[in-house]
Structure 1
Amino acid sequence: MGYELAVKALVASIVLGVAVAGVEPSKKMMWRRQVPAMYVFGDSTMDVGNNNYLPGEEVPRADKPYYGIDLPDSGKPTGRFSNGYNVADFVARNLGFEKSPRAYLELKARSHLIPSAITSGVSYASAGAGILDSTNAGGNIPLSQQVRLFRSTMVEMDATVGPQAVSRLLSKSLFLFGVGSNDFFAFATELAKRNRSATQGDVAAFYGSLISNYSAAITELYKLGARKFGIINVGPVGCVPRVRVLNATGGCADGMNQLVAGFDAALESLLAGLAANKLPGLAYSLADSFGFAARTDPHAAGFVSDDSACCGGGRLGAEADCLPGATLCADRDRFLFWDRVHPTQRAAMLSAEAYYDGQAQFTKPISFKQLAQKSS
């Protein structure tokens, strides 16, 4: 009983907006949280270690050097597909946390799910995951299952501090999404296997499945008490080194990018419709990852490379994975891409800052900061 009362008191203080101390290994400082907790859903751009706990040889894991080489003090891989922090970490830091909440499977393995889920949040993100269950099936936690895991977490939260406290907590917390790229990779790969181009019918069916699944995930979380959604759309996946290297010129795959742009427009319409007509009280900020990449001059931002992997091998650094013994660029802060697919820590930081700081051209209808401050 003493433990439960202590947790309830802590929940109350966080929900009321009391400053919470967060200690970074090299810097002791106070972090004033703008939301009481974060719950993260997505793919490898968000994963902070869930895949390290999944069985199977085909599961993508960032568990070997040089991943994590620039993380404070440790310099060790933590399951993040980055040289350091990822986008989820920087969104969290902008909102007053030390970094992203910890991975669900890590918390379960260490019997720390409660009170972590109540006092800071949980990350359900999984590398390789898609909006569709069929995307890289068997090697990740797909979006629908991530939502189910949140539901099971909520049951434990309710049992610990009571449904009313949990309801207040969730209504003020941020639900962060970053998913979809893997669905487009899988779609393109399947077409290549069949040696044909996508028809209008193929594209319509693909979009329909993606939007239906995305809508179901948001609606289910809303029913469970979520009200604030920070959603990052799909970026120009046709410009990652993994795709560029397939082109003799090293250029972007414009067709793939056009396909993504169509989906992003449909996602924008979905969110507007849900907020206006179906889910009263839902608030959201849609971050335009695609537009940020398209409208940001990488060289003006200090990058010397925007087409090659910092860690890899071969042409564009994209013909080999980032593993021990891979070629490593000299200045990681000046490369846009860390490996064949993922951004460097600095690139992730810049995008997260753009989504947070109210740059209207990169967020609709409000910024992440405005979303966090919005009353619920």
Structure 2
Amino acid sequence: MIMGSNTLMAMEGFVVCLVISREVLGAAAAAVLQPPPPMYVFGDSYLDVGNNNYLSGPNVPRVNRPYYGIDFPGFPTGRFSNGYNTADYIAKKIGLAAGSPPPYLSVAWSSSLVVSTALTIGMSYASGGAGILDSTNAGDNIPLSKQVQYFNATRSKMVAAVGSGAVDTLLSRSVVLIGAGGNDLSAFANAQQQSDAAAFYGSLMSNYSAAITDLYTLGARNFAITNVALAGCLPVARVLDAAGSCSDYRNYLADRFHDALRSLLADLAARLPGFLYSLADSFALMVDTFYDPQASSGFTDVASACYGGGRLGAEAECSLNSTICANRDQHYFWDNVHITQQAAKQRAQAFYDGPAKYTTPINFKQLVQMTAA
């Protein structure tokens, strides 16, 4: 049978459509099957998911006691929160359903566990009390520089297991989350060394630059970084004022830190090929939240700790005998320093794909999408 030209053209069109459809479906399937990028976490207690539980010493800040973890998973995990923290919610946004990768020290005893965990979901090196400077709360935490050393040790184990090429490829699509500086600012403010501010910020940025550059040298390319929030409005700072007001000086230090960090990251991006970053503005988000707490996330208390004792819940150490609020989702602060699970969720939402004013030059979602491109 001889087909007419119209029939042939129709069949050719059908074949072309079929090929295109298969390509589109194949691309869609690949996108669906693409696993979320691993996440490697560095910083302080706002991101720590339990590393400090494995540190010895009487002054190590540990929260392996009730009522930490009361809302997740119902018992203490080492998170400085009533439940999930900011790292958990950002991890969930990225696609890691269980939340933050586990603390490095919980698996460090087994090379195979380190490798399998780091290759699939990443690792958390964050430590409560840690600073950008090694001198901050020295001996009672894992400072940022040592966290980077732990990452280097992790990478070496990964390379031994799967080869440097595979590790470099993995790290090029991974996300590095960093949140540090609050403990450094607190130590500086407590020491009242106001005349040395210029030298202090110089040391901070020099150490921060070295840590980020080392991570870049080890293969990290995509950095999600949070600044320091309203340090002067933490309950532990408010309680120092007779009227319970925020400390303008501590807030000034945090604002100045943001400016220095923004300049540092822009400089690194200009000098390091392939360096991508998103700087999240915890400071601005907190200002907006405190201006209208109810409209932001239904908060009814943004001044006092949910769990604690004394004025503003900030004068006594948290214990089984401490007061604990029932409406935890309506409190911004969990204890006298740390935020509640609800406040952490708000932060992750704002930084991942919230209003553009809270991240620069891109948000966390765009950073993740660029790693998969």
- What is the identity, as a one-letter code, of the residue corresponding to 2:331? F
Structure 2 CA distance for aligned equivalents of residues 292 and 282 of structure 1: 25
Matches within 5 A, 1:45-84: 45-71=46-72, 74-84=73-83
Is 1:299 aligned with 2:294? Answer: yes
Deviates more, 1:177-186 or 1:291-300: 291-300
2:162 aligned partner: 161
CA-atom RMSD in angstroms? 1.3
Structure 1 CA distance for aligned equivalents of residues 255 and 93 of structure 2: 27
2:280 aligned partner: 287
Is 1:243 aligned with 2:237? Answer: yes
Structure 2 CA distance for aligned equivalents of residues 148 and 230 of structure 1: 19
Matches within 5 A, 1:133-282: 133-191=134-192, 198-199=194-195, 202-276=196-270, 278-282=271-275
Is 1:92 aligned with 2:91? Answer: yes
- Cα deviation for residue 256 of structure 1 reads 1.0
Q: Deviations over 1:50-108 (max 9, x none)?
A: 0000011110011000000001xx40100000000000000000111120000000011
Structure of higher CA gyration radius:
2
Is the 1:227–1:281 Cα contact (8 Å) retained in structure 2?
yes
Structure 1 CA distance for aligned equivalents of residues 204 and 293 of structure 2: 30
Structure 2 CA distance for aligned equivalents of residues 255 and 50 of structure 1: 31
Structure 2 CA distance for aligned equivalents of residues 325 and 347 of structure 1: 24
- Cα deviation for residue 189 of structure 1 reads 1.6
Is the 2:46–2:128 Cα contact (8 Å) retained in structure 1?
yes
CA 1:110–1:63 in 2, change beyond 3 Å: closer, same or farther?
Answer: farther
Q: State percent identity of aligned pairs.
A: 58
Deviates more, 1:256-265 or 1:337-346: 256-265
Which is richer in helix?
A: 2
Q: Deviations over 1:107-129 (max 9, x none)?
A: 11465212101111000000000
Q: Deviations over 1:244-280 (max 9, x none)?
A: 000001010001111111111010011011101x111
Instruction: Give me the TM-score of the superposition, normalised by structure 1.
Output: 0.88
In structure 2, list runs of 5 or more residues that go unmatched. Answer: 1-29
Is the 2:40–2:176 Cα contact (8 Å) retained in structure 1?
yes
Is the 2:182–2:228 Cα contact (8 Å) retained in structure 1?
yes
- Cα deviation for residue 299 of structure 1 reads 2.4
1:322 aligned partner: 318
Q: Deviations over 1:338-369 (max 9, x none)?
A: 00000000000001100001420000000000
Instruction: Give me the TM-score of the superposition, normalised by structure 2.
Output: 0.88
1:363 aligned partner: 359
- Cα deviation for residue 370 of structure 1 reads 0.1
Is the 1:312–1:326 Cα contact (8 Å) retained in structure 2?
yes
- What is the identity, as a one-letter code, of the residue corresponding to 1:251? S
- What is the identity, as a one-letter code, of the residue corresponding to 2:66? P
1:5 aligned partner: none
Structure 2 CA distance for aligned equivalents of residues 101 and 171 of structure 1: 18
In structure 1, list runs of 5 or more residues that go unmatched. Answer: 1-15, 20-31, 192-196
- What is the identity, as a one-letter code, of the residue corresponding to 1:92? A
1:28 aligned partner: none
**Structure 1 residue runs of 4 or more that deviate by more than 3 Å after TM superposition:** 16-19
Structure 2 CA distance for aligned equivalents of residues 302 and 36 of structure 1: 32
